Amino acid sequence: MSLTESLEDGDIAEADTEQLGFIDTVPPVESTTEDSEEATDEQLVTTIKPQEHADIWERIRAGYQLDLDIDRPRLSSQLRWFSSHPSYLDRVSKRGERYLYYIVEELEKAGIPTEIALLPIVESGFDPFGYSHGRASGPWQFIPSTGQMYGLDQTWWYDGRRDIIGSTQAAIAYLTRLHKMFDGNWLHALASYNSGEGTVMRAIRKNKKAGKPTDFWSLDLPRETRAYVPKLIALAKIIKDPEKYNYSTYSIPNKPYFDIVNIGGQIDLAQAAEMANVSIDEVYLLNPGFNQWATSPDGPHRLLMPISKAKKFRAKLAEIPSKERVTWVRYSVKAGDNLLLVAKQHNTTVNVLQDVNKMSSSMIRVGQELMIPVAGNNIESYTLSSHQRLLAKQSKAPNRNRIKINYTVNSGDSLWSIANKYKTDTKTLARWNNMGLGDPLMPGKKLVLWLEPDQSKNSDSTRSVIKKVVYTIRSGESLAVVANKFKVSINDIREWNPKVSSKKYVQPKRQSHSSCKRGRWLNNQQKGLI
C-alpha cells in the first residue's frame, strides 16, 4: 500500500513527492497563545499516561514491541539513507505533529506496537492527501476496495481513506486481523499490509515446500515489500536511539493536538474556520476526508479542531441554527436545464439536490424552484478542497523547460493512448494529473501535459500565452476577489508575489502581479518568470 517506489536490496530513495499527492509540503502547525483546553497479541502494552513522558517520541519508545536487534543488508541501506537525510525526518515529523498523539493513543488501546505509529511515514510521508498510482489514498494508504471493506466511504463529498479518525481505526482493525492471521508474527502482518495477505501466504507456502525458513527475511516477496518492512524498522531504530544516528528528533508534545466536535449536520468549512478563528487550510488538514467546500450532508457529522480552539468553536456553533450553517440559493429552472447541469453549475451533485428538495426522481420542469446549497466564499478560497488541489497540481510545471498543454478526454481515449500520442508514459501522465493508473477516464475530463518545446509545436491542443499585469489592491479587496477578477487562482497570485504569500490579509495599495489570459489557459513555465 506504500507510496514509495520499490527498490533492490541496498537501494533507497526518499518518497517521491510527486507521488505524495497534491501538495509537496503540509503547512506547519499553527501557533496559538491561548491556553489549551483539557482533553476530554504477543505482548500486552500498558497504556501510558501522557504526563509520564516528555514528548511523543519518548512515549512511542516506551511501547516498542518489535525485535529491532537485526543486522540485514536491506535494513542497513534504509538506516544509511534516513540517517543521512535528517531534513526529511524533520519534514515528515512536522506533517505528523497534528496526528501522532491520536495515533499513539489508539495503538496503545489496541495493544499494537507503537513502532506502527511510524508506518504513515513509510506509506505517505504523513501527507493526508497522499495519492498513489495504485489508487491508494490517505495517511495509511488504503486502496478503494480495502477502504470499503473497513467502512471508509468514498463519495463526491467525502473520502474516509483520508479521514484521520476513520482511516486510523481502519488501519488498526486491518493490522489486528493480519497479526492474528499470521499467528502473532508482526513482520508477516506488515508485509501483508503492503502487498496483501495472499502474496505473503503464497511465499510462506513456497518456502515450506522447498524446506526453507519462513521468516520475513527469507521470503520471496515483491521488491517494494522487501524494502517496506526494513523502512519501518529503520525508522524505529533511529527514533529509539537518535544520537547513535546523529539525529535530533523534532520535538512534538505528548498531549492532544485536536478535539473532536460534534457538529450535528452539514457546515461550510470556511464558516467553521472563521468561527474557530483558524485558517481554512488548518481545517482541511485536520479534516482531509472532506473533498468539497463543506462537510458531507451524510456525515460524518464531526470536525476536528485544534484543542485550544474547540471550546470557542462549540460556543459559536451553538449560536447558529442548522439551516444557517450552509449558504442557500433559490434557483428557477430554465428551458434546457436538467438536474445534472444545474448540479454542475452550482458545484454539487444530483443526489444532494434530490435530497434537499425531496425529489423522488431527476425530472424537473421549467419554472420549478430548487433550493441549492452553495459555498459561502469564493470557491478558490477553499484552497485544499479536492478541485483546488487538483488545479494546483496541474499548474505545477515539472521543470522550466516544459510547456503546458491542455487536453480534453474524448470517447475511446485511455491513459495509454494519450501518453503514446504525446510521447510520454502513463505513470508520468497520471502524476501530472494526480490520478491513479486505474482511475476512470471519462469523456470531457480535463488533463494537462507538460511537453518539451519541440513537442508542443506539433500539438493540436490548447496552448498558453500570458502577459504580466501589475495590479494595485483596493480597499476591501481580498486575494480571492483579485483572483476572481483575473480568472486565476489564489495559489497563482501567492506564487507570483512571495511577499503576499505569508500574509493572512492583504493591505490596500499593495501592488500585486497577476496574469491576464490570451486564449484559455495559463502557462506555469512563463508565470515563474514574472
Round to the nearest angstrom and report the end-to-end CA distance of the chain. 40
Q: How far is CA 413 from CA 241, 308, 442, 444, 449, in A?
A: 53, 50, 8, 10, 15
Contact 108, 269 (CB under 8 A): no
Strands 466-472 and 446-451: unpaired
Contact 130, 3 (CB under 8 A): yes
**Exactly one of 97, 115, 123, 380 is catalytic; which is it?**
123
Is 123 one of the catalytic residues?
A: yes
What is the distance between the alpha carbons of residues 41 and 27, in angstroms, rounded to a whole number?
Answer: 37
Q: Name 521's bridge partners.
A: 464
DSSP 53: S
What is the distance between the alpha carbons of residues 282 and 414, in angstroms, rounded to a whole number?
Answer: 36
Contact 364, 337 (CB under 8 A): yes
What is the distance between the alpha carbons of residues 191 and 222, in angstroms, rounded to a whole number?
Answer: 10
Contact 100, 56 (CB under 8 A): yes
Q: Name 35's bridge partners.
A: none
Which triple of cell numbers denotes residue 102? Answer: 491520536
Residues identified as active-site: 123
